[in-house]
Structure 1
Amino acid sequence: MKTYFIRRLLLVLPTMIGITLLVFTVTRFAPGGPMDAMLQAAAAGGDDEKSGSGNKSETLSTDDKEELEEEYGYDKNILHAYGQWLGVLPKETWITKKEFGKESVDKEMNTNKHVRLVLKGTDRVAEVKINREEGTEVSLQSFSYSDSTGGDPAADGWSIRIESPEDRTARWARREKQAAEKCPEKYAFRAVAYQTKFTGLVQGNLGRSQQYGDTVISMIIARIPIALYFGLLSTLIIYGTCIPLGVMKAITHRSWFDNLSSIMIFIGYAIPGYALGALLVVFLGAQMGWFPIFGLTSEGFDDMSVFGKLMDLAHHTVLPIICYVISGFAFLTMLMKNNLMDNLSSDYVRTAMSKGVTFRKAVIGHAFRNSFIPIATGLGGLISLFVGGSMLIERVFDIQGFGMLQFQSVMDKDIPVIMGTLTISAFLMLLGNILSDLIVAMVDPRIKFN
């Protein structure tokens, strides 16, 4: 059994790589990415300026576009960019660029063979020199600090590369998806100084939201308490109610209590949680005024007493929690009832009762444990409470939970947040499946994983 679980744990890594790589590839080619969003925002700003002052519409400059490409890895192929997001390939940072001069496009000229760079993030000035004799290829001659600080840039982690006009034209063609001959600019040779570092998922860095500028980790951590609150509360209500209810329905099969409770739970199962939420908001919230219609707390919540905070939180929780638990009642209740009825009709329960065991003891001591085994298979999934929640229910009640974060990231096409939330959700789902197998093995000693 130990070998089985070790093998399952080892499979988590390649499975995670497969999931994240697939989604990373989809977001790479899906329209409306960060480049498109920034271009649309710039175009909208230019249109507003044009309508207000009569000036010509403006768009992002070439340098701005290249900076966005380098930030999100669009200047690299998919596998290289994915490796940078994963943190197993280095990423260029503090990129500083400067051209040698427009006349340096003409390879027959011998001028402008050096340029001075103010290195980004520092107050140091570096001088870059190139070899460019007539009829020869351009190559780097030296790269050194030219101010009084002295020192070796390479020792401080700086590297340098020289971009040719052909390289820059090819990059423009890839970005604009046009032929290189249509490039409107005549580029010059350019010095690019940069540092490299490993910063990605392996290092605990999921990037920054392109919509809000906050780190993805901080945004996720801020939503986890809400996900845990509703997840734990709904789990306690569902399991604490459905298991005893399923036992009662199995014992009183075909009685008025069994029939009436079946009708009620199946009506609840047939109503989607978000649809029920909309009805509750309209009738019990807006028309009757019994409950708040949005949010999780009232204004001035921080100024309330401890008891006042608890009452206010409970008041805001009633309607959302009803929507959370309504669909789970039918499945778990009927699963418990049917399993218990099957075990009560089994030979081992009849034998126990024929030997003088009371019906109550036969139910609790014999049939219940075996009936609980199928339910135990889903207990491992409870670990996803950390990132649980329903985006539709949270949207109806305007609750800023984890589900709402996922919904907003998809609507805003916020790729770093999409990748971050997906990674954590997928990992907890895989871990939950392993825990489910472990729980089943603990509950049922007949199960052996070999």
Structure 2
Amino acid sequence: MAILRYALFRTLTMFATLLVVSVLIFAIINLPPGDYLSNQINELRATGQESGIAKAEFLRKEYALDRPLWEQYLIWMGFAPGPHGFSGMLQGEFGWSFEFDRPVSEIVGEALWLTVLVNLAAVLFVYLIALPLGVLAAAKSKTWIDYTSAFIGYLGLATPNFLLALMLFYYGHKYLDLPIGGLMLPEYEGQPMSFEKMKSVLIHLIIPTFVIGTSGAAAMQQRLRANLLDELAKPYVETARAKGMSEPALLTKYPLRVAFNPFVADIGTLLPALISGSVLVSVVLGLQTIGPVLLTALKSQDQFLSGFVLMFVALLTLIGTLISDLLLALLDPRIRFGGRGQ
């Protein structure tokens, strides 16, 4: 029951945080003067195209962009009725992209699940690489294994993602015949999911997963090594060793569990870091994720599109934090579920 109460409390906290984040996102995307349509109106006036101005003015009223910012926010979120009644984020209406002249839902439809897929693959890659290398480096401290893993880690941290993407882009295709660019073959774009399409996506995932996850894996490996070395130096480990406990049992019984806490807590920060770090990689590799879409929307001040993408990233961040909090509560018995402990 304690874990259920804690999960409910954290879920409610997550939604409250998301509400605050939505206010900040809306305020930030409206910080630059004007918006897409007002900028377009100014350009049309400068060139004397009066017919285009009438259309832009109509769209401003159609999407409530002529109203005060606080009212625009309430309509965008679906808390207040707009020109078409209640039709905001809460009702599943994400607005219109003026840059692409299409509904936001159509633009981000396939890009959303591809973004989630790429970043989940990167998270799995990070943990599959960082866990064994970090534990091995700590267990074999000051040996060639430790130095080799440290060298790999520093190499991963020092190499820019876009440079690594370009290198693998060329050598992966030349020597391993890996596909160049994108997350699927062109003939599968816009097609319903099938075995062949999923196979194409998985093959195309190899390079992006490696590129996006490398720096995260290197940083996490170093943190796990440092945490585990700190635990292995504590008196209770020396006591267990003196009592004749074998090294593998001694390592996994308590030190590894305690050292895992920051490792698990990193889930909350890893997802947003991977998504933000993958924007440039997505542009270089031509990935059909929301990264390039967000970049275009921010540059053109396409507020409905950029607002939705930022809200989606915020939601992923909060979900990652929720997962890490629940795993920490299960992993470490010292964490109290019900506030003030027994």
**TM range, smaller chain:** 0.7 to 0.9
1:39 to 31, 38, 41: 41
State the one-letter code of the partner of 1:39: I
1:271 maps onto 2:150 in alignment: no
Trace 1:289-308 onto structure 2 (pairs within 5 A).
290-300=177-187
Trace 1:164-313 onto structure 2 (pairs within 5 A).
197-281=85-169, 283-284=170-171, 290-300=177-187, 312-313=200-201
CA distance in 1, matches of 2:187, 2:74: 46
Trace 1:73-152 onto structure 2 (pairs within 5 A).
73-93=64-84
CA distance in 1, matches of 2:187, 2:211: 26
Q: Judge which range, 32-41 or 259-268, deviates more.
A: 32-41
State the one-letter code of the partner of 1:319: I
Q: CA deviation at 1:398?
A: 0.6
- Structure 1 alignment gaps of length 5 or more: 48-56, 94-196
**Equivalent residue, structure 2, for 1:191:** none
State the one-letter code of the partner of 2:134: G
1:69 to 56, 60, 63: 60
CA distance in 1, matches of 2:249, 2:294: 48
CA distance in 2, matches of 1:294, 1:420: 26
Q: CA deviation at 1:378?
A: 2.2
CA distance in 2, matches of 1:62, 1:314: 47
Q: CA deviation at 1:397?
A: 0.4
Trace 1:21-36 onto structure 2 (pairs within 5 A).
21-31=23-33, 33-36=35-38
RMSD: 3.3
Higher relative CO (Cα under 8 Å, sequence separation at least 6) belongs to 2
Is 1:69–1:75's contact at 8 Å kept on the other side of the alignment? Answer: yes
2:65 partner SS: coil
Q: 1:274 to 1:62 in 2, by over 3 A?
A: closer
CA distance in 1, matches of 2:13, 2:203: 44
Q: Residue deviations 1:376-399, cap 9 Å, x none?
A: 112355776997871110000011
Q: 1:375 to 1:313 in 2, by over 3 A?
A: same
Q: CA deviation at 1:337?
A: 1.4
Q: CA deviation at 1:285?
A: 6.2
Is 1:223–1:402's contact at 8 Å kept on the other side of the alignment? Answer: yes
State the one-letter code of the partner of 2:137: K
CA distance in 1, matches of 2:38, 2:80: 26
Is 1:228–1:387's contact at 8 Å kept on the other side of the alignment? Answer: no
TM-score (structure 2 length as normaliser):
0.83
2:130 partner SS: helix
State the one-letter code of the partner of 1:442: L
Q: Residue deviations 1:324-365, cap 9 Å, x none?
A: 121012211112212222222222222222223211111122
State the one-letter code of the partner of 2:55: D
Q: 1:18 to 1:307 in 2, by over 3 A?
A: closer
Q: 1:205 to 1:272 in 2, by over 3 A?
A: same
Q: 1:373 to 1:38 in 2, by over 3 A?
A: same
Q: Judge which range, 290-299 or 349-358, deviates more.
A: 290-299
CA distance in 1, matches of 2:257, 2:151: 27
> Comparing both structures, which one devotes a greater share of its residues to helix?
2
1:409 maps onto 2:286 in alignment: no
**Equivalent residue, structure 2, for 1:419:** 307
Q: 1:59 to 1:291 in 2, by over 3 A?
A: farther
CA distance in 1, matches of 2:234, 2:95: 57
1:440 partner SS: helix
Q: What fraction of aligned residue pairs are identical, expressed as a percent? A: 26
Q: Residue deviations 1:279-336, cap 9 Å, x none?
A: 333x426877944432223344589xx8876765455333322211210122111122
State the one-letter code of the partner of 2:113: P
1:16 maps onto 2:18 in alignment: yes
Q: 1:386 to 1:272 in 2, by over 3 A?
A: closer
State the one-letter code of the partner of 1:76: R
Q: CA deviation at 1:251?
A: 1.4
Q: CA deviation at 1:420?
A: 0.8
Is 1:295–1:398's contact at 8 Å kept on the other side of the alignment? Answer: yes
- Structure 2 alignment gaps of length 5 or more: none
Q: Residue deviations 1:426-450, cap 9 Å, x none?
A: 2332343233222212111012243
Q: CA deviation at 1:415?
A: 1.0
**Equivalent residue, structure 1, for 2:249:** 361
State the one-letter code of the partner of 2:236: Y
Q: 1:386 to 1:63 in 2, by over 3 A?
A: same
> Comparing both structures, which one devotes a greater share of its residues to strand?
1
CA distance in 2, matches of 1:371, 1:433: 18
Is 1:286–1:293's contact at 8 Å kept on the other side of the alignment? Answer: yes
